[in-house]
Chain A
Amino acid sequence: DAGVIQSPRHEVTEMGQEVTLRCKPISGHNSLFWYRQTMMRGLELLIYFNNNVPIDDSGMPEDRFSAKMPNASFSTLKIQPSEPRDSAVYFCASSLNRMNTEAFFGQGTRLTVV
């Protein structure tokens, strides 16, 4: 397996534009997590899914952020409209839905909003 795959690796966009980040989890994993990493706040959990169902989205900063998981092999995180303070590295991670199992991270998407 190629691991968790995220795209794009880098995204530069203008303030106000819509941004869509994509994630393909490891085949067979049924939990998927979206994290945001900044220098100031570290790794923040935005939302996570179990069997394609959102379980906890309390970390989503505001209504401009939305996430979907239409099937077991694909998830998106959308920001609309984007703002400069959304600039960060966004990581997707997946794991098996068993207690105490490792979360595998994708390479991340570095988002810059100018």
Chain B
Amino acid sequence: GENVEQHPSTLSVQEGDSAVIKCTYSDSASNYFPWYKQELGKRPQLIIDIRSNVGEKKDQRIAVTLNKTAKHFSLHITETQPEDSAVYFCAASLNTGTASKLTFGTGTRLQVTL
């Protein structure tokens, strides 16, 4: 089955700096890579996703890149703000023909300091 590894497990940056979180996946058949943000005590929520026919996608201060050959993808947050502090999860989706199964990375706890 799919295996997703995520690094780093914790990340501390100063407000205004950039943050980068990296993930690798094992199954070359995976073709959908969402990123979820989970604030303390709340549910994970999708913030951005990328499909395998795209190499990069941006949404304001957030961008994702995908390298299918190397089987890794990254989340970039620019001009970080205190409200970006949360746990971020990457995921890879393997479509089985009957449903899309999401496998998550272990999460990165991002702390944005003033």
Does A12 sit within 8 A of B, measured CB to CB?
A: no
Contacts of B10-29 to chain A: CB distance below 8 A: none
How far is A99 from B102 in the complex, measured between Cα atoms in Å? 11
Docked Cα-Cα span, A9 to B70, in Å, equals: 41
Q: Which of B32, B43, B95, B105 contacts A91 (CB 8 A)?
A: B43
Chain B residue contacts of A18, Cβ below 8 A: none
A107 within 8 A of B: yes
**B99 contacts A55, CB within 8 Å?**
yes
Query: Interface range on chain B: under 10, 10 to 19, 20 to 34, or 35 or more?
Result: 20 to 34
A42 touches B44 (CB 8 A): no
* Contact A45 B101, beta carbon cutoff 8 Å: yes
Q: Which of A45, A50, A91, A99 contacts B44 (CB 8 A)?
A: A91
A residues contacting the other copy or chain, number (CB 8 A):
26
With most chain A CB atoms within 10 A of its CB, the pick from B43, B98, B99 is B99
Within 8 A of B (CB), among A30-57: 31, 33, 35, 41-43, 45, 48-50, 55-56
Q: List 16 A-B contacts (CB under 8 A).
A: A31-B100, A33-B102, A43-B44, A45-B104, A48-B99, A50-B99, A55-B101, A56-B96, A97-B98, A98-B100, A100-B32, A100-B49, A100-B93, A105-B43, A105-B44, A107-B42
Closest 7 CB pairs of A and B: A100-B32, A50-B99, A42-B106, A105-B43, A43-B104, A31-B99, A99-B95
Q: A-contacting residues of B (Cβ < 8 Å)?
A: 1, 31-32, 34, 42-46, 49, 51, 89, 93, 95-96, 98-107
